[in-house]
């Protein structure tokens, strides 16, 4: 009997940890959209890293049961919301998923929430590369880092006042 409990528990844990097709589709849609984002380019942020953050945040806030059909449908809806290219397509996507979210307004709110997830994750990524004083510094390339000289190593001592 204990073996049955262990097998069921193991299958639930594996289902919770595995990434669904819908999550992969959402990650791909986000990565493609973020690859074109000028802010990510300016800060030299990896679109895939930001997309991972967004998918994690969305998956964390969607239905608590992995594999539950509404959860998969919600992830599919978010992928659709991300991949629209025109206001007309956006409205079609909102209309397509209105029953899933409980109405047109709720579907629009879900579509707009994607923007919140994007902004939050971009903010987190920018914070990781920004010093604590808040001043932005350009991100150096690996080549620049390997040729970097510590600040005091090549400086001559300033003349001391007598």
- Is position 23 within any domain? yes
- Is position 43 within any domain? yes
Question: What whole-number distance in Å separates Cα of residue 89 and Cα of residue 31?
Answer: 19
Q: Which residue has the tokens 């880092």?
A: 145
More confident residue, 137 or 55: 55
Its domain, for residue 88, covers 19-132
- Is position 159 within any domain? no
- Is position 143 within any domain? no
Closest CA to 50 of 93, 114, 108: 114
- Is position 154 within any domain? no
Q: pTM for the full model?
A: 0.67
Given this model, what pLDDT does residue 162 score? 37
- Is position 1 within any domain? no
The model's confidence at residue 160, banded by pLDDT at 50, 70 and 90, is: very low
pLDDT tens digit sequence for 89-120: 999 999 999 999 999 999 999 999 999 999 99
- Is position 11 within any domain? no
- Number of compact structural domains in the chain: 1
- Is position 155 within any domain? no
Given this model, what pLDDT does residue 3 score? 61
In the chain, what is the straight-line distance between the N-terminal and C-terminal CA atoms, in Å?
87
pLDDT tens digit sequence for 42-98: 999 999 999 999 999 999 888 655 556 688 899 999 999 999 999 999 999 999 999
């Amino acid at each position: 009997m204990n073996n049955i409990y262990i097998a069921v528990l193991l299958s639930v844990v594996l289902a919770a940890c595995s990434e669904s097709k819908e999550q992969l589709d959402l990650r791909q849609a986000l990565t493609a959209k973020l690859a074109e984002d000028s802010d990510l380019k300016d800060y030299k942020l990896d679109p895939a890293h930001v997309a991972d953050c967004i998918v994690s945040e969305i998956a964390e806030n969607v239905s608590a049961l992995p594999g539950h059909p509404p959860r998969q449908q919600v992830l599919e809806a978010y992928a659709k919301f991300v991949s629209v290219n025109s206001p007309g397509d956006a409205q079609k996507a909102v209309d397509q998923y209105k029953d899933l979210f409980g109405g047109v307004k709720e579907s629009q709110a879900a579509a707009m929430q994607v923007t919140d997830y994007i902004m939050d994750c971009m903010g987190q990524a920018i914070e990781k590369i920004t010093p604590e004083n808040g001043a932005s510094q350009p991100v150096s390339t690996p080549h620049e880092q390997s040729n970097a000289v510590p600040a005091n190593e090549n400086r001559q001592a300033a003349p001391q006042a007598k």
